[in-house]
Amino acid sequence: MKKIVLIFLATIALLGCGKKSTDSYDKIKEQGKFIVGLDDTFAPMGFRDESGEIVGFDIDLAKEVASRMGVEAEFSPREWSSIVFELKSGNIDMVWNGMTITPERQEQIAFSEPYFANDQIIMTLADSPIQTAEDLKGKIIGVQLGSSSYTLVMKNPISESASEIKKYATNAEALMDLEAKRIDAVVMDVIVGEYYAAKKEAREGKDIFKSLDKALGKEDFGVGLRKEDKKLKKEIDKILDEMKKDGTFDTIHDKWFGGKEA
């Protein structure tokens, strides 16, 4: 009997030794690519250009990190409201798309070190009488479902004073409704709001949107990863740090944001 137990324990030990690491880094190196989940309307971080190609600041960063890892970056658009589920389910290897590091998300996933600072702002029409957050009392506010903007709004007093918080799949859809005057304001990331406002102004020859002067909140972006992917996180952090030291990060940043500080 003792001999049988010893054989059983030895077999279990051997199986344990032969088991591959659950860290995605090894799988990525073996497959030669990592899959990035994103909202492909989140300009200028990750979006489709006029030819339909996915481009953006985060896209260029991810491609450079992939190149230095000796692999390729594949981009897979997903619904933002379910992006954390897609990551935890293993359908994507990471979320690299202006993802805000929040306590709620940190309970579910891991993040790279912060690589970009961002503000949450209130966007309205250029001719709107709305000047402050207090002016949103009784108004309809649009926000992207599943975003840090949505979390911020629901924790802010404006959610109680507004007549309605209208949820959208993308910021682009919210801004379309704002322009059509179906809503009164949109809470969103400043980088996205300013990008869309500038593009709209260039096309129309005049200001269509404006952002209120006071930021509703400040935050940091990070690459979203599974908690068990410690080796992958360490590698991404290391490469991003190298890119900042050798100037590559600044080159990519200036391409998309000019001289604005990250």
User: What pLDDT band is residue 260 in, cutting at 50, 70 and 90?
Assistant: low
pLDDT at 37: 98
CATH class of 22-115+222-257: alpha beta
Closest C-alpha among 98, 115, 132 to residue 215: 132
Position 162: which residue type? A
Q: Encode pLDDT of 51-74 as tens digits.
A: 999 999 999 999 999 999 999 999
Q: Are 133 and 187 in contact (CB under 8 A)?
A: no
Q: Are 224 and 105 in contact (CB under 8 A)?
A: yes
pLDDT at 22: 81
pLDDT at 208: 95
Task: Report the DSSP pairing between strands 94-95 and 33-38.
Answer: parallel
Q: Encode pLDDT of 88-134 as tens digits.
A: 999 999 999 999 999 999 999 999 999 999 999 999 999 999 999 99
pLDDT at 257: 87
What are phi and psi for residue 222, nearest 5 degrees? -145, 165
Closest C-alpha among 196, 43, 222, 255 to residue 117: 222
Architecture of the structural domain at 119-218: 3-Layer(aba) Sandwich (3.40)
What are the structural domain ranges in the chain?
22-115+222-257, 119-218
| Alpha-carbon distances, residue 220 vs 131, 175, 189, 212 (angstroms) | 26, 23, 11, 20
Do the two domains 22-115+222-257 and 119-218 of this chain adopt the same fold?
yes
Q: Are 58 and 98 in contact (CB under 8 A)?
A: yes
* Alpha helical stretches, state H, 55-131: 57-69, 83-88, 103-106
Instruction: Decide if pLDDT at 47 tops 60.
Output: yes
34 forms beta bridges with: 73
pTM (2 d.p.): 0.80
Computed over every residue of the chain, the mean pLDDT equals 91
Ranges 110-114, 174-178, 211-215, 248-252: which has the least confidence: 211-215
| Alpha-carbon distances, residue 147 vs 97, 101, 105, 183 (angstroms) | 11, 11, 10, 18
Q: Are 28 and 66 in contact (CB under 8 A)?
A: no
Closest C-alpha among 69, 71, 120, 82 to residue 98: 120
Instruction: Decide if pLDDT at 11 tops 70.
Output: no
What is the spatial distance between Cα 1 and Cα 84, in angstroms, rounded to a whole number?
A: 49
Instruction: Decide if pLDDT at 234 tops 50.
Output: yes
When mean pLDDT is compared over 14-18, 167-171, 195-199, the highest value belongs to: 167-171
